[in-house]
Structures are given as structure tokens and as C-alpha cells.
Amino acid sequence: MSQHDRYISPFSTRYASDEMQYIFSDDNKFRTWRRLWVALARAEMKQGLTNITPEMVAELEAHVDDINYEVAIEREKLVRHDVMSHVYAYGQQCPKAAGIIHLGATSCYVGDNTDIIVMRQGLELVRKKLIGVLAKLAKFAKEYKDMPCMAYTHCQPAQPTTVGKRATLWANELVMDLNEIDHRLATLQLRGVKGTTGTQASFMELFKGDADKIRAVDASIAEEMGFDSEAVIPVSGQTYSRKVDAFILNALAGIGQSCMKFATDLRLLANFKEMEEPFEKNQIGSSAMPYKRNPMRCERICALSRYLMVDVLNPSFTTGTQWFERTLDDSANKRVAMAEGFLAADAILNIMLNVTDGLVVYPKVVRSRLMAELPFMASENIMMQAVEKGGNRQELHERLRQHAIAAGKQVKEEGLPNDMVDRIAADPAFGLTKEEIAAGLVPENFVGRAPQQVEEFIAHILKPIFDANPDAVEQHANLSV
């Protein structure tokens, strides 16, 4: 069937990686369902259910990956229930074990536990890419730690910083996001076996009221699925609390916030012609204007980040509208909102990896823009020079203010260069030559501790992250810090 006659998500065709798409694929979902059914059967067998045998468990294990989708699809048309359709399909392949598949469980045993497992896989992939972006920013910050540039407050010239120091601002917010992702991974808990309304009543029946055996089943399943034996939610209704989804999507949206800030800054710097994103040899910037070099990658980061940040509302409302032990109006929303939240975060980080790997700096423009404003920045230093030659500090302050206003007016109203240095040199109250003033206009003297701050940030904040995650660094950047 043609793929051009129906809607296909742009996340599938344009934005998200194959790795993230697989994590949220049917194959990964239903194979995880089957792994959970195997884990349940094995745990129940270990706790003494004699109607489950090693032969049955082995049969289930043999068919975890070869899912007979056509059988499940046809069955669902008849029974209108996805979990029972897959129980039936699995049983067709495992006739000896067919009668014990899903024993004691409710649909959320496979549905919710799989969602937790899949989200953990997604967070782990996001985490690796986030560290890759940090590695590239660290390399850039180190290279440009000493290059003075104009810093801005209110998007107006303020005091100088360095190109590398600005990169640490971008990186620091991503470190905050990494910490949040790590917290989510560290506190993620499996739903385990909780029964229809969370009371484990069906398991009390199976194990004749032996609560220790039920707890052991929970612990065994958690371990088999890669969680700590204690990493099972303590209480639940039918589902794990949907606050988990809200927490996770908020963490992903935090990445969107940080990346949008980075991309917006770079778009502004591209307008200033100080920096820009990579621009490929044959890339076309505009269909009408051949000279254009539009920052389309950063614009895409901003667009997808906006989508991701808004997506946070979905699990937030879902959490607040769950009735008592559960209601099903979470399901349709959740399967779209959570998957696309991860796909959006993945897409944003893919673009970030590309952009941060090829950031372009134009040193002469950076210097020129800084020098055009530096006489204003240096006014206090100039005043101190003049005082040393016998000038009156209060009088000089007022004269500097007047010269700055006049020079600014010339720049803004007449489009002429900043002539503040000429004005001061021509004012006998200062007793300074143009050469003496110019000698003090060294940008490197106005950046404070910016270079040292870069070195300290890399050494104390970023390097420990890289040392603890060498595979993520090696995969995404050639870095030595």
C-alpha cells in the first residue's frame, strides 16, 4: 500500500532517530509484553504454583520475539481487547503454556509495566545524546574561552564576556536537565503485580493468602526486567500513578527549554553575524533570495521545543482526571503524548548534536562589534586615568555622560561610527591623548574571570560527567578535556 496517501507523522519521516522510533515500536512493546508474561510465569512457578512447569516457561521463552501479529489482529477484531488478543496469539504458539499465560494478572500488568520499561529505555537514549551535546559544547567553550565578545542584557550591549563563557551558560542548563533525567531514572519504579484495583486479591487467591510469596513475585519480576528488587511501587490502584508520566515529560520539556534558549541565542548571533549554525555547501537558504543563510536548524529546534513544552499539559491533565482506582480516558491521550514527547526530545537533541558539532564563529565581526561599544564600557577606566592626571572625578563623570549621549546620538541618528574616543581626546578636561585612551581599550581586560570560569566549569562540572560516561562521549564527540 502506498505511503503517500495517508498521514504519516513527521517524527517518523523527518525528525526522530531510528533508535527512539524502535523504543516506541510495536515490536518493542509486544516483545516486552511477552517478556513480562515469561517473568510472571517463572516467578509464580518459583513460589510453588505446581500447574506451571519449567517446560511451559521454556516454551514461552522460545516465542518472545517471533510475534504472530496476524493472529492477534484477527482476534482483536472479534474480542475488541488488545491484551487478550495477544494472550490468545501467544497461546497459539505455546500450546503447552496457553492456559497459564497472564495468570492472576490484569491488562495493566503488561500495559503499565511495559510503559515504565519503554520510558526508561527512552530516558537512557535521551541521556546519552544529552551528554554528547555537552561534550561538543565543552570542546567549543574550551576553544573560545579567551575570545572577548559583547555580552547583552535586555538584548542591549552590557559588559564584555567571552564566546566560550557564553557556551558554558548553554551547557549549564543542559547539566541541570541531565540531573533531572538522572533523578527520574533513579526513582523509576515498576508497577509489578497489583491486580485489578491494586489490592492483589487475585494473587491472594493463587497463593492461598501467603503475602510473602506475593511480595517475592513482585521482587522476582522487577529483577528479571532489570530493576532493583525493591524498585516496585508500594501501592497503586489499577495503574501506576500518572504523575510518573507528568514528571518524565516535564524532565524532557526541560531539555526543550534549554535547547530553545540556545537556538534562540544562536539565531540572534547569526543576525549580528558573530556566529551561526553549520551551513552546507549546497544548502539553499531561500527559494527567492539566493544570498540567504537562514538558521533553519535552530528554527527547527525552537519549533519542536515549543511542541514539547506544550505537550507537558497532556499528562498533567490526565493525572488530575483519573477517577478513583483508574479510568480509561488516559489511554488514547497517553499513547500519543508520551511517545511523541520522547520523539520530540530525541529530534531536538539530534539537531543539537549537528549544530554544536559545527558552530561557526566570525572573530573579526565579534571583535568589531565589541570595539564599537567598548568606549562606553571603558568610561570608568578612562575617568580613572584622567583623575590620575589631576582631573576632578565628579566633573569628569558628567562630561563623560554628555560625550556618551552625543556619541550614541551620532551612531543611532546619523549612522556614523562611535566617536566617543575622539570626543574625549579633544576635551582638555581629561588631559588624555587618543593613543593613551586607545591603549586602555583592550577587550581582554574587560572580561573579568570569564576564561577561568570556563576552565573551572569544564574541570569541576563537565569532566566528571564525561569520565563517568565515556561511551556517550566517544559516540558523539572527539573530546579531550
Structural domain boundaries of the chain?
A: 26-107, 109-198+235-362, 379-440
Residue numbers of the chain with a pLDDT score lower than 50? 1, 284, 287, 290, 479-481
In sequence order, what DSSP letters do the residues of 210-246 get, joined into one string? -HHHHHHHHHHHHHHTTS-TT-B-S--SSS--THHHH
Between the alpha carbon of residue 425 and those of residues 202, 385, 411, 435, the distances in Å are 91, 12, 18, 9
The architecture that CATH gives domain 109-198+235-362 is Up-down Bundle (1.20)
To the question of pTM greater than 0.85 for the whole model, the response is yes
Q: What residues have CB less than 8 Å from 220, skipping those under 6 apart?
A: 39, 42, 43, 46, 229
Q: Contact at 8 Å (CB) between 256 and 301? A: no
Q: Rounded to 5 degrees, what angle do the CA atoms 216, 218, 221 make?
A: 105
| Long-range contacts of the stretch 196-200 (C-beta < 8 A, 24+) | 196/106, 196/238, 197/237, 197/238, 197/325, 198/235, 198/236, 198/237, 198/238, 198/325
Q: Rounded to 5 degrees, what angle do the CA atoms 56, 61, 63 make?
A: 105
In terms of CATH, what superfamily is 379-440?
Fumarase/aspartase (C-terminal domain) (1.10.40.30)
Kindly state the cell numbers that stand for 43: 516467578
Q: Rounded to 5 degrees, what angle do the CA atoms 33, 39, 40 make?
A: 90
Q: Give me the pLDDT at residue 368, please.
A: 93
Q: Give me the pLDDT at residue 481, please.
A: 39
Q: Give me the pLDDT at residue 294, please.
A: 83
Interval 289-331: pLDDT, tens = 545 578 999 999 999 999 999 999 999 999 999 999 999 999 9
CA distance 83 to 184: 28
- At the top level of CATH, the class of 26-107 is mainly alpha
Angle, helix 243-272 to helix 107-143, in steps of 10 degrees: 30
Between the alpha carbon of residue 221 and those of residues 56, 188, 217, 253, 361, the distances in Å are 17, 15, 6, 31, 53
Q: Contact at 8 Å (CB) between 88 and 213? A: no
CA distance 261 to 198: 43
229 as an active site residue: the answer is no
Interval 422-447: pLDDT, tens = 988 898 988 888 888 888 889 999 99
Residue with cell 486479591: 201
Instruction: Identify any residues that bridge with 361 across adjacent strands, giving them in sequence order.
Output: 275
Q: Give me the pLDDT at residue 480, please.
A: 41
CB atoms within 10 A of CB 411: 16
Q: Give me the pLDDT at residue 14, please.
A: 92
Q: Which residue in the list 2, 4, 154, 480 is annotated as catalytic?
A: 154
Q: What is the dihedral of CA 227, 229, 235, 237, to 10 degrees?
A: 50
Tell whether the torsion through CA atoms of 55, 58, 59 and 60 is positive or negative: positive
Q: Which residue in the list 12, 81, 183, 286 is annotated as catalytic?
A: 286
154 as an active site residue: the answer is yes
* HSE toward the beta carbon, residue 349, CA cutoff 13 A: 31
Q: Give me the pLDDT at residue 1, please.
A: 47
What is the amino acid identity at position 90? Answer: Y
